[in-house]
Amino acid sequence: MRAVPGAPATDDSTTLLITLTGRDRPGVISAVFSRLAAYGVVVLDIEQIVLRRRLVLGVLVTAPRDWKPMRTAVEGLAAELDLQVEVDRGTGDNRPRPEGRSHVTVLGMPLRPEAVAAIAGRITGTGANIDRIERMARYPVTAIELHVSGADPVVLRTTLAEEAAAQAVDVAVQPASLVRHGMRLVVMDVDSTLVQGEVIEMLAERAGCLEEVRGVTEAAMRGELDFEESLRRRVRLLAGLDAAALDAVYDDLLLAPGARTLVRTLSRLGYRFAIVSGGFSHVTDRIAKDLGIHYAAANELEIDGGRLTGGLVGPVVDRAGKADALRRFAAEVGVPLGATVAVGDGANDLDMLAAAGLGIAFNAKPVVQEAADTAVNVPYLDAVLYLLGISRDEVEAADAREGFTTPEPLLG
């Protein structure tokens, strides 16, 4: 931080770092600064944390010419408040933090000390420094955010990805910039991301062709078919199925845990949501309406006489189509691609994840986790909030004001 213009501090001036620790109580801040006010100091920096009612307060001030009476006064106050105090003398203001600042979010179920030690060690190994740590969530996952300086975020991401895999935790690295605060569009895959399971398999089970549909899916995963051909083959197997099965499947769908919390919370903050799916619009349009999602893109099944014909109407929403939809929705919202977040789990989501400002692989296939900016492998979709700097405490406080309770309802 920089000294206040006109303050008695100069680059050569003496500063004091006053550190108070002990049990937190109301009025500590007011008492400390009231006592300091009698000595003509200028405040240069303040940091405070409270962990289970234990206070750590650090205050950096310019030192008066004769600063020992001030130290004595602060020590007396600390004794009155039953706090421990240290007063360290230095020269000048805080040194500027090194270039290369990042937010490093760590998620664990549970978060073990050896994982924290390994991640911190890797950060140190890059020559970086952890400037601050704050808790984002304590349940159902533990999430902490580390403010790191002194390393290129790309290098840090690569280094920590290796350690995250070894420690079985999730680690997300994002550059510290205004872009993070400007994220305003979230685009999500549907099957196995927003909802649990695969809609086409649920339809196939009702049509009596589940094994045949799975066989086509496996052929596509082996690279023998592209997505469009595999989709058309699977849809042909559904020919003759009563269209009422679409409503029955919708009624049986379960949202991913935390889906409603994610949408509700970010909607309060002015975000816009979109879902893009290689599935079917009859289902995704209803999901969008149920959750208050603003945009949806999916494939349209051809229906004639109340039954599926086995065909599709219009162009197929495939891997490229999902990325195109993200770009289209961003243009409609009026945000740059750098201000978008994409969440998906399959190879069909790769282009969309690459096009977004932040691509998140959610319980994804290994190839997707390797390609995405970050991966979340806990089963709670609202863990995405922690990557955006929103804590569980903030979510619960907002829900309490509006009368929401947990657990959140499932779809249907």
What residue spans define the domains of the chain? 14-91, 101-176, 186-196+254-402
Task: Give me the torsion for CA of 232, 238, 239, 242, rounded to 10°.
Answer: -140
Give residue-wise pLDDT tens across range 375-386: 999 999 999 999
Give residue-wise pLDDT tens across range 98-146: 667 899 999 999 999 999 999 999 999 999 999 888 899 998 999 999 9
- Cα(19)–Cα(17) distance, integer angstroms: 6
**CATH class for the region spanning 14-91:** alpha beta
Query: pLDDT-derived band of residue 184, with 50, 70 and 90 as boundaries?
Result: confident
Asked if 345 and 368 count as a contact pair (C-beta separation under 8 A), the reply is yes
Percentage of the chain beyond pLDDT 70 is 91
Q: Which residues contact 49 (CB under 8 A, 6 or more apart)?
A: 55, 56, 134
pLDDT exceeds 70 at position 2: no
Give residue-wise pLDDT tens across range 284-297: 999 999 999 999 99
Active site residues: 189, 191
Query: pLDDT-derived band of residue 337, with 50, 70 and 90 as boundaries?
Result: very high
Q: What is the DSSP string of 222-267?
A: TTSS-HHHHHHHHHHTTTT-BTHHHHHHHHH--BPTTHHHHHHHHH
Q: What is the CATH number of domain 186-196+254-402?
A: 3.40.50.1000
> In the structure encoding, which two tokens stand for residue 394, read together?
């903030």
Residue 58, SS3 per DSSP: strand
The beta-strand segments (E) located in 24-128 are: 43-51, 54-62, 84-91, 101-108
Pick from 318, 358, 351, 321: nearest CA to 336: 358
Q: Torsions phi, psi of 303, nearest 5?
A: -125, 135
**CATH class for the region spanning 101-176:** alpha beta
Residue 304, SS3 per DSSP: strand
> In the structure encoding, which two tokens stand for residue 309, read together?
């014909």
